[in-house]
Amino acid sequence: MRRILFADDEANMRWVLERALSKAGYDVETAEEGQLALDRALAEHRSCA
For residue 48, is pLDDT > 60? no
Rounded to the nearest 5 percent, the helix, strand and coil shares of the chain are 45, 25, 30
Contact 39, 3 (CB under 8 A): no
The distance from CA 44 to its chain's CA centroid, rounded to whole angstroms, is: 13
pLDDT digits (tens, 9 = 90+) for 10-43: 999 999 999 999 999 999 999 999 999 989 888 8
